[in-house]
Each structure stands twice: as structure tokens, then as C-alpha cells.
Structure 1
Amino acid sequence: MSVSAMEPTARLRKSRTRTPKVSAREALTVSNLRPHQYDLRPACASLICPDCTTWVPITGIQATIHKLVPHHAGTAREDAPIRCSGSNRRVIIDVKYEVWQRSLEEGGAETNGRRANRVTRKPKVAVAPAITQILSPLLDAKAAVRMYEAHTKRCATCAPSGRDRCVDGGRLAHLVAHKQRTEPARRAALTIREELAEQREQGLWLLRELQWASTANSVRRADIQRAHDALVAMLPSLSPKKADGPQLSDWERADLMSAIRMLATKVEQHSR
């Protein structure tokens, strides 16, 4: 007795198979498939076999019983001739041709009008600088050393010997070394800036003095003329032109004399 092979081997058969055999597997229902997975045109009735995912003709499309033709599981003339387990499997066509064609056309129109999804790139967020990097321009060498010592006292990772350091401790140590190395140059630059600022202030003060000296005489003459005009306007009030004119009271005369003395003093001061 010969031992049967593990997989059935297809044998040569006629181009048009006429066999009453029907597979014992559960029948395929067309309504459970998508419209693009089967074709109900009478000239080329076929569907995609679920087992080998290839297009397989349907026999007896005009008859009562429909089934898949026997076919191989692989590519013809390339793979081994092994029969697919979906051969002679019954097919239940419960979809009308007009309904299938309409659903296929609607799906094609929807696909053609669909736009490609636009990919929105997520913006890259800049990495926030560390506290030591923010305070670096504001610290001098002494302040950097104090900050490093305070961090070493409260940090459990940073050892007093300086061998083991955490991330912040390493940054602070680098900051201290950088500040100590650049401290002489920083102090020299600061001294130069202070001297330049002092010279600029002295230059502005000298410029103001020169500008005032160029206009002092004209300003003095204008002040003297203004005081003189005020005195000329006040003197007629002391001696009215008409004898029966209005006379000043003692209080008014005292106020007027005080104002005249002040104007006279101002004219004397400007005339020096």
C-alpha cells in the first residue's frame, strides 16, 4: 500500500473541466466580499480565492450551482503543481449584476475624488537652556564658586573630592573653570568700559559748558531787557498823570516798591 503524499498533486486535465464534484467546505457568499473582489460579468465571471488570493473563474454562472474551477495554489509554470484547497468550492451569488455594477462605480468615483492626506509636520521644540547657562553671563568667578559649593553641599551625587559629579555639578564645575580663566580679561574690559563712560560724561559736561558760554551774553541781555521793561511799566503807577486820578493805598504802594527793588537787584546782578 503506497503512502499518500502530504499535499495533493495536480494532474493534467482538459482545458474545460467537466466534473460533478463539489468541495465539502462551506460555500462562499458573494455578498460577504467587497465589490472589487469579484466580477459578475457573464463573459468573465470570477472572484479572488480566499486561500491563494488569485483570480479564479466561476463555473456554471448561468446554472443553478456555481463553484470555483480547480486551480493551482502557485503561479502557473513557475511554482510546484499543488492544487489549491479552494478548488470546486461552491459559490452563492446573492448579488444582482446591476447592484454590483452600481456599487463598483460609486466606489470608483469616491476614490477618484479623494484627496491625499497632507502630512503636518510637528514643529521642533527648542531645548530649554539650563539655569547655569542662563546665569552664566551674570556671574563672576566668586559667584560661580559660591554656587558650585552650595550645590556640592546639598547634592548626594557630587562628592567633595570632585571625582563624581551629576549633570548640574559638571556644568557648574565647567562654569567655575571658565570664569576663573576669563576673569582677568573681564575685569580689564570692565575697567575700560568704566573709563570710557567717565570720559563720555566729562565730554558731555564740557560740551554743555561751551554751549552755555556761546549763548550766555545773549541770554543776559534778554534778562536785563525784560527786567527794564517791567520797571518802566511799574513806574507810572507811583506818580499818576492826573492829580485827581486814583491813588495807591499804603499796602499797594509797599508791594509795588518791593517789586521794583527786586527788579533793580536782578538788573544789577545781570549787569555784572
Structure 2
Amino acid sequence: MSVPTLEPTARQRLRRTRTRAVSTLPALAVSTLRPHEYDLRPACISLVCPSCRTWVPINKPGTLRPKLVPHHMEEAGTKAPRRCPGSHRLVVLDMDIERWWQRLTEGVAETNGRRSNRVTMKPKVAVAPAITQILAPLLDAKVALKLYEAHNKGCAVCAPGTLRCSEGGRLAHLVAHTKRTEPARRAALTAREELAEQREQGLWVLRELQWALTAAAVRRADLQRVHDALEATLQQHNPQLTDWARADLMSAITMLATKVEQLSR
């Protein structure tokens, strides 16, 4: 007997497998599955196998004993495939197509109402500036040079003096920039100080002018208030007062008279 030289290949399986084999698992009722786990349309009647969670066609759906077609647990083309225990499992088609389609439509409508179709663009995060870039407006040429020298002493790349790291390059650029802009920076700082001093002097002159406009009215009001107090104190003079009370009254009258004299000048 001759030995075949070619390896045997699997034959193409028929679309409707004709076999009397039945799985030992209990019959699977379609009503126990979720609406999106089975498809009752006649053109592609199938369901999700509970054992391997893959879509499997239903064989002979119009007969008394429909069942799942035999299928494997692994993907097609894998070596040593293992058959799913859900193969040849009986299926109970206890669900009406119209009722299934209504439940599926209601579930899709509810999901669409719960999820937004608007695409939200993710905002672009700006790159954080370096410390030298943040401190550049606040540093002068001397401070920038000190930072550059301190970096060169501690950096292994910038220490020989031939190469520069990214931070060393930024500091070198900062030193050159501060040296170039130092005269303009000092002039601007001097101008700001002079402007602040002029503003302070202007506010002081404005307060003096405002007080000069109201000084006469304030003096008259003070003088009238002291006159009223002096008259009220003189009315309290009574011959029946004791020596101590008369002394206190005369002291108050003297003090008020002095204030009147001072305000009348």
C-alpha cells in the first residue's frame, strides 16, 4: 500500500451539518439571553454561545430540534484546535422576531439618548516654560552670569567648555540677552521710579489743595462747636456749687476759652 506524500487537508464543512449528535448541556432558551446576543432574522439566525462567547449559527431553525453548529474555541487556523462544549447544543426558539426587534430598538434608543454624539476636542496642553525663561525679566546681567557659572561648575556636559546641555544653552543665551538689554532695562527702571515719585508728589499736592479748599469751613465749624460748649458750660455756673465743683467748672471754662482764642487767630 502506497503512503501518501502530501499532508491531508481538512475538507470544507457543509453549511448545514447533518448529524444526530446532541450536546450534554441543557437546552438553551433564547429568552434567557440579552437582546443583542442573538439575531432572529431568517437570513442570519445565530446567537452568542455562552461557553466561548462567539457568534454561532443555529442549525435547522424551522425544525423541532434546532441546535448550534459545531465550532472550535480557538480562532481559525490555530494548531490543535479544541471543540467548544456548546457544539450541537439544543436551542429553544421561544422569542418572537417582532418582540425581539422591538426590545432591540428600545435599547438602542435609550443608549443613544444617554450618550452624546458631540465630539469634544482634547485641549492642547501648553509646554511649561523653563525656570530661566520665567526669571528672565527679573534678572540683571550679574545675576544671570552667576547662574551660568554655577551651572558650568556642576554640569558634567558643560564643565569641559566644549559642549553645552540644553539648560546651559538657555543660560548662555540669557547672559547674552541681559548684557544686551541691561542699559535699556536700567533706563526703564529709572523712568518708572521717577514716574512713581512724581505721582506720589502729585497726590500730596492734590491733598494739600483739597484741604486748602475746606480748611476755612472746618475752622468755622470747630470754632462754633467750641463756642457752643463754652456757653453750655457757663450756664452750669451756680453759687450753690461746692468749692471742688466750682474749681472743675472754672478749669473747663478756661480750657474752652483758650481753644476759642487759638481758633480765632
In our comparison, the structure showing a higher alpha carbon Rg is: 1
Whether 1:39 and 2:59 are equivalent positions in the alignment is yes
Q: Report the Cα distance in structure 1 between the residues aligned to 2:89 and 2:23, rounded to whole angstroms.
A: 9
Q: How many residue pairs align between the two structures? A: 208
Partner of 2:156: 156
Structure 1 segments of 4 or more deviating over 4 A?
A: 2-8, 27-35, 45-50, 102-112, 114-126
Partner of 2:176: 177
SS of corresponding position for 1:36: strand
The answer to whether the 8 Å contact 1:148/1:176 transfers is yes
Give the drift of 1:46: 10
SS of corresponding position for 1:37: strand
Partner of 2:188: 189
Partner of 1:94: 88
The answer to whether the 8 Å contact 2:144/2:175 transfers is yes
SS of corresponding position for 1:94: coil
The answer to whether the 8 Å contact 1:38/1:48 transfers is no
What is the TM-score when the length of structure 1 is the normalising length?
0.58
The answer to whether the 8 Å contact 1:37/1:48 transfers is no
Q: Report the Cα distance in structure 2 between the residues aligned to 1:221 and 1:120, rounded to whole angstroms.
A: 72
Within-5 A mapping of 1:193-208: 193-208=192-207
**Structure 1 residues 47 and 5 mapped into 2: Cα distance closer, same or farther (>3 Å)?**
farther
- Write out per-residue CA displacement over residues 81-140 of structure 1, whole angstroms, 9 at most, x where no aligned residue: xxxxxxxxxxx983335x2x4599799888764658989987655433322222223222
**Structure 1 residues 133 and 109 mapped into 2: Cα distance closer, same or farther (>3 Å)?**
farther
Partner of 2:138: 138
The answer to whether the 8 Å contact 1:231/1:263 transfers is yes
Within-5 A mapping of 1:52-67: none
Partner of 1:271: 264
Q: Report the Cα distance in structure 2 between the residues aligned to 1:48 and 1:107, rounded to whole angstroms.
A: 25
Give the drift of 1:173: 1.4
Within-5 A mapping of 1:176-255: 176-238=175-237, 240=238, 246-249=240-243, 251-255=244-248
Q: Report the Cα distance in structure 2 between the residues aligned to 1:120 and 1:108, rounded to whole angstroms.
A: 32
Q: Report the Cα distance in structure 2 between the residues aligned to 1:139 and 1:207, rounded to whole angstroms.
A: 36
Give the drift of 1:211: 0.8
The answer to whether the 8 Å contact 1:30/1:95 transfers is yes
SS of corresponding position for 1:156: coil
SS of corresponding position for 2:235: helix
The answer to whether the 8 Å contact 1:29/1:93 transfers is yes
Structure 2, gaps ≥5 residues long: 9-20, 26-50, 77-85
Opposite residue 137 of structure 1, the aligned amino acid is P
Partner of 2:249: 256
Give the drift of 1:204: 0.9
Q: Report the Cα distance in structure 2 between the residues aligned to 1:102 and 1:179, rounded to whole angstroms.
A: 85
The answer to whether the 8 Å contact 2:22/2:90 transfers is no
Opposite residue 266 of structure 1, the aligned amino acid is K
Q: Report the Cα distance in structure 2 between the residues aligned to 1:230 and 1:93, rounded to whole angstroms.
A: 115
Give the drift of 1:4: 7.4
Q: Report the Cα distance in structure 1 between the residues aligned to 2:87 and 2:160, rounded to whole angstroms.
A: 85
SS of corresponding position for 2:56: helix
Structure 1, gaps ≥5 residues long: 9-26, 55-91
What is the TM-score when the length of structure 2 is the normalising length?
0.59
CA RMSD, Structure 1 to Structure 2 (Å) = 4.5
